[in-house]
Structure 1
């Protein structure tokens, strides 16, 4: 199921979104800053044409916000939803095999304390829910200093965001197409940042390890639309996961060193590397089970 995330600053570009849906074979669209009001009447046929589609929405508050999830019902069947000013969860099953999938459209606030409260609410849903999870949208946060240019890096906000990603056990695909997703200003003073993202749970990442995430050109707003294209791949080893924060925990470094020193054998370099990573994985798994 191919997904599109886009911050459009209003639904006046609906016709262009429809072109993207057709061009890229989109099955699920997450829209941020739709500016859709409670008394608004928007014809979603503009996006999908006359056909079968589903819609969830959260109305805008004032002159900003508004979330819309819309999908192809031939690929995804909704079973429930959760609405919040800063996120919209659409729960359902994939038509192809009945797998449970939770699609979370995120539009994070600006203030640090409000962002942290949002991360805590989302962790509660993710850890307490069933099925696969995809969080997609405008997170208004970066993870590392390198994800900002000509704008201030807030280490505390980044730490909170990285904590959320680690606690919810989320993964990221390498983003192609552009290093940054948001642009403000012009010339040498242009501010750039990577605040739009796609985060997926480990089960989703393992199932579609060959998925492609691409930042499309910023032609509809000052945000790059994000395109996640997936295809089934039932081959290859599971990805090896590592969090830098583990090194701050007592005993982690010793576990890694011990696993590497205890891994022997002969063979090609790639086979030996696979064995060493396997030993480290097993060592960390046992270390984690001890409740560190």
Structure 2
């Protein structure tokens, strides 16, 4: 089941509706939570325009003036709700996850946290009471307007009291801070370049298998090896398969380097000496990987000569050999 959480900062524009729909389709979301609709009457929002089919239902919380406002939309083929709890700062939808071999009770919370320290603490206590008093698995996401530690803010003020209350809520509710991926910070003020991680995805640990996780090297190799399609003589086929695998690994490595570089640059600006050391380190790693690839290629060639035409069966066993 895929979830999409967006702080839309107003839904009074037609382009916002089409934007939500495009993201919903792109990420194949079954449940979409919107924060800061900034509309006193949610009924004026084109919910149909946010979805790509008629199989949906929704719940909403009106904004207070031009502040706040929440909407949760879900695919009725995948999720069936039986209760809704509304508050100015959160929207709880309780139901059943239908696309499962077992009957899974799923409680989904869309949050837009208040600004006041005391109001934040009040919201966390209210949610904790609801979670402790309601059976089922919990998924809590949204714009919490709070961070967990100083490292989640850059060039902006950190409040230890709000962070302590928020961390206590996560611990007492037995929630896991789920890694959404992407950029390190989820909000940037263009005026003074203040960065902060305000959006989060919290869930019970036993529900993580229902979410797509980012995969690493082993998964990249396995997927590339299994999805390759080729033809020709056995040696030409194997050589083409190696090239295909190499290209997939290079792309995986490049994407990882870009993500790592962004995280470092977002944390602070690097000096010219640090940038030189960084670039030199990247070159050394690439050279080491090139030599390692040559060594692997030579070993594979030797094995291919010995094992004859069992190329696919052999290589699969060889690449998983830890000795």
Q: Do the two structures share a fold, i.e. TM-score over 0.5?
A: yes
CA positional deviation for 1:208 = 3.9
CA contact (8 A) 1:53 1:70 kept: yes
- Which has more strand, going by share of residues? 1
Which residues in structure 2 correspond to 1:1-292 (within 5 Å)? Answer: 1-11=1-11, 12=13, 13-38=16-41, 40-97=43-100, 98-186=103-191, 189-205=192-208, 207-208=209-210, 211-212=213-214
In structure 2, distance between residues paired with 1:209 and 1:52: 21
In structure 2, distance between residues paired with 1:33 and 1:39: 11
Stretch moving more, 48-57 or 25-34? 48-57
CA contact (8 A) 2:178 2:200 kept: no
CA positional deviation for 1:210 = 5.6
CA contact (8 A) 1:57 1:68 kept: yes
Structure 1 spans left out of the alignment, 5+ residues: 214-292
CA positional deviation for 1:35 = 1.8
CA positional deviation for 1:128 = 1.1
CA contact (8 A) 1:173 1:212 kept: no
Question: What is residue 242 of structure 1 aligned with on the other side?
Answer: none
What is the TM-score when the length of structure 2 is the normalising length? Answer: 0.62
Q: Deviations over 1:183-212 (max 9, x none)?
A: 1124xx30000010000012213x347635
Runs of 4 or more, structure 1, over 6 Å off, are none
What is the TM-score when the length of structure 1 is the normalising length? Answer: 0.69
Q: Which has the higher contact order (CA 8 A, sep 6+)?
A: 1
SS in 1 for 2:23: helix
SS in 1 for 2:156: coil
- Which has more helix, going by share of residues? 2
SS in 1 for 2:170: helix
In structure 1, distance between residues paired with 2:130 and 2:28: 29
